[in-house]
Structure 1
Amino acid sequence: MSSKRRVASGAVLAALAVAQGVLAAPGAAAEPDTAEAAPARIHEIQGTTRLSPLEGDRVRVDAVVTATRTFGSSRGFWIQDPRPDDDPRTSEGLFVFTGRTTPALTQGDVVTVEGTVAEYYPGDPATTAAQSTTELVKAHWTVTARGARVPEALALGPGTVPDALTASPGGSIEHAPLRPDEYALDFWEAHEGELVSVIDARLVSRSTDYNELYVTTKPQQNPSARGGTVYLGYDRPNTGILKIESLIPFSQRPFPKADTGDTLTGVTSGPVEYDSYGGYTLMASVLGEVKGNGLEREVTRAQLRGELAVATYNVENLSAVDGEEKFAALAEGVVSNLASPDILTLEEIQDDNGPKGAGDGVTSADETLRRFTEAIEAAGGPRYEWRQIDPQDGADGGQPGGNIRMGFLFNPERVRFVDREGVDATTPVAVERDRRGARLSVSPGRIDPQHPAWEDSRKPLVGEFVFKGRTVFVVANHFASKGGDQPVHGRFQPPARTSEQQRVQQATVVRDFVDDLLAVDRRANVVVAGDLNDFPFSPTLRELTRGGTLRSLMDTLPESERYSYVYEGNSQVLDHVLVSRGPRRVSYDVVHINAEFADQASDHDPQIVRFVPR
């Protein structure tokens, strides 16, 4: 439940009454506004909605400094009123933006601040889906006392933040009155700029490349089997997740490295700020210590002699310009953790000069795949062969110049690839009939590559394999990304998932192709695998599985194990393996070796299916 902190010592109250200028000369941000300022309290500035009722006004505020940001391009300090009102909707904290000016202030300074009330948006206010931050700009200030007691931080526990994320009015929530006792996003907005704290919090993500930690304040909310928090539905938000960044200069304390399931021990506290990446964030002026929990990378079992093992792995923009370290780490995962599968579908294989050659016409990936297969052999794996199709330059999306595509690796000692000539980037593969059943017109081939569903996106790659005399069709996929979707924590609710439309179209094209295969041979062995960039409960997966053509193996796992990727603290699914009814004795595993670890070869975990072809 939302509550006010009624901590205001006599020293603080007395200090607030001290005449301006008695202790220190004024400080100022760049280009201070000289308009006359009206006295205001912070809760009056914050108001009872997300937007300040005083936006654009020049105000004068008396408050105590709770934290400072002394590095980066968005420097400033937070202030908090030690005399809160009785309205749980109004925050008592506020950020004072000083630009690149480092404020010469410390926690406990009592200040009189004059500034203009503004709503900061990360991007164009007319188009961004992010929420705003209420702040003071063009500010100048005077220290009137030092060493004052600061308001007590609100301790966050399992029952503090509401379980429901927000009301969903079908548009902007900015003007709606806050209901912090009912909705998590309203709770955080009602505490914007105020001090909050967590104690001995479990980390639900690795430490990110952007110096972020994600913890949960609700340890029992959808826990994963390995210490994370699993995202299980659009209507099941994980409102216990909280992002943490550090206000401590990294020269004084390097940002900690952590794996999922570690513990952020002791007290971590600081003011709340909205970030368009990750949502509401605890900006830590006090940061606890990371205690490891010994999370280990998983190792799957080896396939039996009569089982065919097919794995899928997004290798995160692998190209021939990458260093040996990345190739070696990926290869170790294939050999030691995936037990050298018979077939691998690979996503994000780049061309031989990677993103450096944007627009240069280079699309070949032979050098990239040669280095990868040699690294696998050096790690003790088989001498894999590969098949892939060079895309048209710049036509498949992804990192500019990288020309990412799917590819197959296969162990020729265990499986035979059926090569049929006539393949190129634009020729569609067709299903044909022969005396043994279904076959591909070209192999490898691309599924309907000219279809508008694949505009600026990877085209599925299909290959025909033979294992112990049985034909197996494998479709490698990398559907369109979620770029352009509105954030879950943004100002528009429910958020628009505009990218979903393209993925649903792509799912239809793939499923129609599988239907063509099964129309020729209803018992055909078909595996559809790859990075589908969508959730098990999404319309994309519903379209792929519509009519029972394919079944999703992710749905066969316990809920606590349904994830292959970690984003903004949510352990979630982007990668999938689906099979037709042909395969028998199916055994499926998501092998967690990357997504949960600070040290990772890729941001995705691979998956593997083992079965006996019919």
Structure 2
Amino acid sequence: MSSQRRARITGSTVLTVLVATLGVSAAPGVAAEPNSPEAVPTPVHEIQGTTRLSPLEGERVSVEAVVTATRTFGSSRGFWVQDPRPDDDPRTSEGLFVFTGRTTPDVAPGDAVTVVGTVAEYYPGDPATTAAQSTTELVDAEWTVTARGTRPPEALAIGPDTVPDALTASPGGNIEAAPLRPDVYALDFWEAHEGELVSVVDVRLVGPSTDYDELYVTTKPAQNPSARGGTVYHGYDRPNTGILKIESLIPFSQRPFPTADTGDTLTGVTSGPVEYDSYGGYTLMANVLGEVKDNGLEREVTRAQRPGELAVATYNVENLSAVDGEEKFARLAEGVVRNLAAPDIVTLEEIQDDNGTEGVGDGVVSADETLRRFTDAIEAAGGPRYEWRQIDPVEGADGGQPGGNIRVGFLFNPERVRFVDREGGDATTAVKVEGDRRKARLSVSPGRITPGHSAWLDSRKPLVGEFVFRGRTVFVVANHFASKGGDQPVHGRFQPPARPSEQQRIEQAGLVRDFVDELLSVDRKANVVVAGDLNDFPFSPTLRELTRGGELRSLMDTLPPSERYSYVYEGNSQVLDHVLISGGPRRVSYDVVHINAEFADQASDHDPQLVRFVPR
């Protein structure tokens, strides 16, 4: 699970170490003996304070409260307590996590306890560098159960109007020391309830259940709904503050974590304490978990291209290599044949070499076996016998998983389209635009755009191919821009979050755009398709750079706002994959085909998309 953490034992006496690591607690009715320095009786709200950081960090305190939930598995075990005697300040939380490491705590919800511990701020990573927020908790803890069967405090019901629409003050910089304003900002609201019981009822899932046993729901069902049940991310200044992550505190041996798709409903009451997670932000840790109602989301099927239409698709096939099992190849092939209606050209992203990550530094860079298995699977699924074109990268130079030698490539149906082969293209040779009686052509085909430029360091190089369809030349550029790795989370302690990875993509976009400009300078009516996983949003500077001047048109912008997505991340339906076209193509028809991203059972984590048009 993503919330698991390493156990820690900080400076204390031998008795405290034994208590924390062996799960020993004083007998009911016997006060725990505090260690040096002497523990000071302290209400929870004084520990939590009115900012994100406890004013009592490092101090030894004694707390009287009621156990509300326990985490009995993983490396971050412990229990939550809540003070039944709250103050009247909405900024101060009455809940607190007691960390016991790998020790299963011998308490249960409803136990009244006296806990002696040291106040700490836990960061998931180096506190000096992480952008994640901290969790206020007690460590090196001793506890005494003073009564059993006490009624825990009532959970705060979260409805459509409970959480503020604004995320946080901006610009805020490091917001940790800022006084909380839970009535104004969503991040402040959740921090003001850190460790407290909250509940939701009959909420819609806005993403599939994840491999990390997470559900994402919306508490604001009217906030930017997608056409298929999700929540669409429309801009840096338009965060979806209704999204809430849910994990389960119920051991999976007692109740397996539910499998769910986008648009399903988590029925009944789900409740538990609030915890911050660096993946997904504030999380409801459920010790009462509702039931998933399947609302029947179906995978989309696009229409087939007409005889005079050229169909160009783009598909990120998620680290496909020849060592993958038959099922992955079969499912991806079924998507190409049935859901995409066998496009004439497919740009592929995340094609790995023939032994994938099994060979690091072994000299294997060819992907012929990977692509042979894929085209065989497509034919077995009833599709055409595709051919492929790609260029092997320099070993270890293009990023992605170590040893995978990731790259982009083309599939094409030779019964419908001809690939123009011109020799000389390799990993380090730059493709050039040549003019021939006002008709553009490529110096090499396939060829890579400026592969030696620093913008492509540890990143996939764009691949350009020259195709002929019914006597008309079409240039297709396959792309997989640099990832968002290293960007700060939208729910972190730095606001607005920094996006350092963006600079590389902006530079990459400029190089692709310059190449397209060269093509159009020779032939203003050239048919150009720029497609692939650009790892950025329609409203990003990356897309602005690609579309500057209006020579390239982003087709994602032509869809209704509720349909603009191809990927789901932390409950946000968003765009990473794009298709852009020049002014040459006519009778343009564009479709994002939702077959993966919204479903727990995925062939890839991306949805493919395609454009159909009549070349000029």
Which TM-score applies when normalising by structure 1?
0.95
Question: 1:565: which partner in 2?
Answer: 567
Q: Which amino acid aligns with 1:101?
A: T
- Secondary structure at the aligned position of 1:317 is classed as strand
Give the secondary structure class of the aligned counterpart of 1:137.
Answer: strand
| Amino acid aligned to 2:545 | E
Q: Is the 8 A contact 1:475 1:529 kept in 2?
A: yes
Q: 1:6 matched to which residue of 2?
A: none
Q: Are 1:23 and 2:28 an aligned pair? A: yes
Which 5+ residue runs of structure 2 have no aligned equivalent? 1-24
Seen in structure 2, the aligned counterparts of structure 1 residues 33 and 274 have a Cα distance that, compared at 3 Å, is farther
**Residue 493 of structure 1 aligns with which residue?**
495
Distance 1:391 1:484 in 2: 24
Equivalent residue for 2:245? 243
Residue pair 1:33, 1:115 contacting (<8 A) in 2 also: no
- Give SS of 2:221's match: coil
After superposition, give the CA deviation of every residue in 1:265-305 in whole Å (9 maximum; x if it has no partner).
Answer: 00000000000000000000000000000000000000000
For residues 75 and 471 of structure 1, the distance between their equivalents in structure 2, rounded to whole angstroms, comes to 62
Cα offset, 1:22, TM superposition? 6.4
In the alignment, does 2:591 pair up with 1:589? Answer: yes
Q: What amino acid maps onto 1:276 in structure 2?
A: S
The corresponding residue for 1:76 is 78
Task: Name the CA distance, whole Å, in 2 between partners of 1:49 and 1:208.
Answer: 32
Task: Kindly indicate whether the alpha-carbon contact (under 8 Å) linking 2:31 and 2:114 is maintained by their aligned counterparts in 1.
Answer: no
Cα displacement (A) at 1:361: 1.2
Q: 1:474 aligns with which of 473, 476, 493?
A: 476
Counterpart in the other structure of 1:11 = none
Kindly provide the amino acid, as one letter, of the partner of residue 245 in structure 1: E
CA-atom RMSD in angstroms: 1.1
Q: Identify the residue that residue 278 of structure 2 maps to in structure 1.
A: 276
Deviation at 1:389, TM superposition (A): 0.1
Counterpart Cα distance in 2 of 1:324 and 1:212: 28
> Which position in structure 1 is the counterpart of 2:193?
191
The within-5 A match list for 1:347-386 is 347-386=349-388
Alpha-carbon distance in structure 1 between the residues aligned to 2:596 and 2:285: 27
Q: Number of residues paired by the alignment?
A: 592
1:40 aligns with 2:42: yes
Does the aligned pair in 2 maintain the 1:511–1:549 contact within 8 Å? no
State the alpha-carbon separation in 2 of the partners of residues 194 and 480 from structure 1.
40
CA distance in 2, matches of 1:226, 1:66: 36
Aligned to 1:421: 423
Q: Secondary structure at the match of 1:510?
A: helix
Q: 1:554 and 2:559 equivalent? A: no
Q: Deviation string for 1:25-72 (max 9, x for gaps)?
A: 7889xxx95431001000000000000000000000000000000000
2:137 pairs with 1:135: yes
CA distance in 1, matches of 2:29, 2:604: 52
Does residue 320 (structure 1) correspond to residue 322 (structure 2)? The answer is yes
1:403-438 Cα offsets, whole Å, 9 max, x none, are 110010000000000000011100000000113600
Tell me, yes or no, if the aligned pair for 2:51 and 2:178 is still in contact at 8 Å. Answer: yes
Whether the aligned pair in 1 keeps the contact of 2:438 and 2:522 (CA below 8 Å) is: no
Query: SS where residue 238 of structure 1 aligns?
Result: coil
The 8 Å contact of residues 38 and 58 in structure 1, kept in 2 or not, is answered as yes
CA distance in 2, matches of 1:487, 1:377: 42
User: In the aligned structure 1, how far is the partner of 2:26 from the partner of 2:380?
Assistant: 71
In structure 1, how many angstroms separate the alpha carbons of the residues matched to 2:319 and 2:31?
A: 51
- Correspondence 1:216-295 to 2 at 5 A: 216-295=218-297
Cα offsets for 1:459-513 (capped at 9, x unmatched): 0000000000000000000000000000000000000000000000000000000
**For the structure 1 residues 194 and 440, does the alpha-carbon distance in structure 2 shift closer, same or farther, using more than 3 Å as the test?**
same
Structure 2 residue matching 1:540: 3-state secondary structure: helix
- Whether the 8 Å contact between 1:27 and 1:103 is mirrored in structure 2 is no
Contact 2:113 2:146 (C-alpha < 8 Å) held by counterparts:
yes
1:169 Cα deviation from its structure 2 partner? 3.3
Aligned-partner residue type, residue 298 of structure 1 = E
* 1:89 matches 2:91: yes
C-alpha separation in 1, matches of 2:379 and 2:372? 11
Task: Give matches, 1:50-69, under 5 Å.
Answer: 50-69=52-71
Secondary structure at the aligned position of 1:243 is classed as strand
CA contact (8 A) 2:122 2:134 kept: yes
Identity across matched positions, percent: 86
1:334-349 equivalent positions in 2, closer than 5 A: 334-349=336-351
Q: Give the 3-state SS of the residue equivalent to 1:364 in structure 2.
A: coil
CA distance in 2 between partners of 1:259 and 1:244 (Å):
14
Q: Secondary structure at the match of 2:338?
A: helix
Distance 1:33 1:415 in 2: 79
Q: Does the Cα contact within 8 Å between 2:32 and 2:114 map onto a contact in 1?
A: no
**C-alpha distance in 2, partners of 1:395/1:143?**
59
Distance in 2 between residues matched to 1:75 and 1:27, nearest whole Å: 20
Q: Which residue number in structure 2 is paired with residue 297 of structure 1?
A: 299
In the TM superposition, 1:385-424 aligns within 5 A as 385-424=387-426
Within 2, Cα distance between the matches of 1:437 and 1:116?
75
User: Aligned to 1:59, what secondary structure does the other structure show?
Assistant: strand
Give the 3-state SS of the residue equivalent to 2:86 in structure 1. coil
Runs of 4+ in structure 1 displaced over 4 angstroms? 24-28
Which residue, out of 509, 512, 530, partners 2:511? 509
- Write the mapping of 1:92-103 to structure 2, written as runs, cut at 5 A: 92-103=94-105
Q: 8 Å contact 1:310–1:610 — kept in the other structure?
A: yes
Task: Name the counterpart of 2:209.
Answer: 207
